[in-house]
Amino acid sequence: MATLQQINGIYHLRFRFGGKPFRRSLGTTNTDEAETIKKDVEVNISRINSGVIPPPPEDSDVIQYVLSGGKNVAKPKIVEPTSPTLEEMWKGYLVSLPAGSKEENSLATETTHFSHLCRILKPTIRVTDLSTDDLQRYIRVRSKEKGQRGLVKARTIGKEISSFRNVWNNFALFRKIVAKDFRATFGKLNYPKESERPPFQTWEQIERQVERGGLSQIEIANLWDCLFLDIGRIREFLEFVRTKPGLPGWIYPALVAVAHTGCRKGEVLRSLHNDWDIGESSKMPMVRWREKKKDRSKDFTLRQVSVTPFLQKVMNDWFASHPGGRYVFCGSDGQALSVDEAARWFNTVVADSKWTVLRGWHVFRHSFVSCLAKKSVDQRVIDASVGHQTDEMRKRYRHLFPQRQHELLAAVFSEGE
């Protein structure tokens, strides 16, 4: 026996079959139509019970079987969503990025990292099939591959995994492509042991170590990576750039800006005219750098830094001959410079000179910080000037606070004497 029930005006059919209750909405408010379906169901149940219609298969949709008189037995198939491949997740992440939300060089670095991930883990592997063992295998394989100087370093592999974690947590997790965050999924990963990066050193300190001999070319190159230029070397380099023929007009003031404020290359390239308050009437000349690393939720944050008299003069001279356009440091057409252009011109500056040991613009950021530390400038002032810094980076120039350390130790051990 079947019965009808109206819920919010819609007829629902109830019946028992094989000792179990069943209910299905008929999707109609028409009484005659509902009664006709009810009578058909009662007839079909009777025919099944009498053997005229075979009983429903075990895996069938019983309600649909009874309603159709045994003609439609298939249960609706539930298609499980397919996990994207590693390559598909990366492409989806790229598509999701709003224009200008990432610095050009940051995106290039992530792209390089994912090319290694796809090469070793395979681009076709499903993201949800990845395991801790897969990532440990990645770390093991990468640590045995050749890098720029010897084998790939653990910190480099860690940065590659960090890029993967960023895409996993900030893209895939929020879109429910994966169920759990990176740490909950893969746990703590193990990396090869690596020596602590040496502290920043002066040109003379590095030369003395090289002259002693016994170092490989890789070890010598790694030493020069730790170079910071003291004030005298900075002046010498800037004068070298100023007098070198064939360079574009923007590069000398840009290098002075980096050397005298500790800003990043990207901040130089983003600089606009209104960011500089250095007119003759300015009592406290300032520049505002547009920093992207401090707050990821914002397009950029502004960091204000004092401008030295030397930088003020150089910049005012540059503005007097500026080709026009909104960007401070630009080509002759007034257009913004790319990260690659800035890197190529730096290599052109140092080519065929003793300055080839300098590994790019960033050496001046390290030098700025180290020179302040050497003068015992308060750490808070240093951080405010250069913006975001890691504890690892602070450790590399902390030894340059000799005078302050001497005063503190002397004060402690002179007590009671």
**Shared domain check, 29 and 158:** no
**Shared domain check, 213 and 179:** no
Per-residue pLDDT band at 76 (split at 50, 70, 90): low
Indicate whether 232 pLDDT > 70. Answer: yes
100's tokens: 């200008």
Q: Is residue 416 part of a domain?
A: no
For residues 410 and 407, the model is more confident at: 410
For residues 330 and 48, the model is more confident at: 330
For residues 105 and 253, the model is more confident at: 253
Q: Is residue 286 part of a domain?
A: yes
The pLDDT of residue 70 is 80
Chain mean position to CA 65: 55
Q: What is the mean pLDDT of residues 124-150?
A: 93
Please, are residues 13 and 4 in contact by the beta-carbon 8 Å criterion? yes
**Shared domain check, 364 and 230:** yes
**Shared domain check, 59 and 90:** no
Q: Is residue 39 part of a domain?
A: yes
Here the CATH number for the domain that contains residue 220 is 1.10.443.10
| Tally of structural domains, the chain | 3
Q: Is residue 73 part of a domain?
A: no
The pLDDT of residue 329 is 96
Indicate whether 78 pLDDT > 60. Answer: no
Indicate whether 56 pLDDT > 80. Answer: yes
**Cβ of 364: how many Cβ atoms within 10 Å?**
26
Residues 6+ apart with CB under 8 A from 343: 265, 360, 361
Whole-angstrom Cα distance, residue 43 to residue 68?
11
Note down the domain range covering 60. 2-67
**Shared domain check, 221 and 266:** yes
The pLDDT of residue 72 is 61
Q: What is the mean pLDDT of residues 121-137?
A: 96
| Range from 6-15, 123-132, 168-177 carrying the lowest mean pLDDT | 6-15
pLDDT tens digits, 31-46: 999 899 999 989 888 8
pLDDT tens digits, 191-228: 998 777 778 888 999 999 999 999 888 888 888 988 98
Q: Is residue 198 part of a domain?
A: no
Indicate whether 170 pLDDT > 90. Answer: yes
Mean pLDDT of the chain: 87
Q: Is residue 315 part of a domain?
A: yes
pTM of the full structure: 0.65
Domain final position from 40, 67, 94: 67
**Shared domain check, 152 and 26:** no
163's tokens: 């890029």
Per-residue pLDDT band at 102 (split at 50, 70, 90): confident
For the chain, percent of residues with pLDDT exceeding 70: 89
The pLDDT of residue 122 is 96
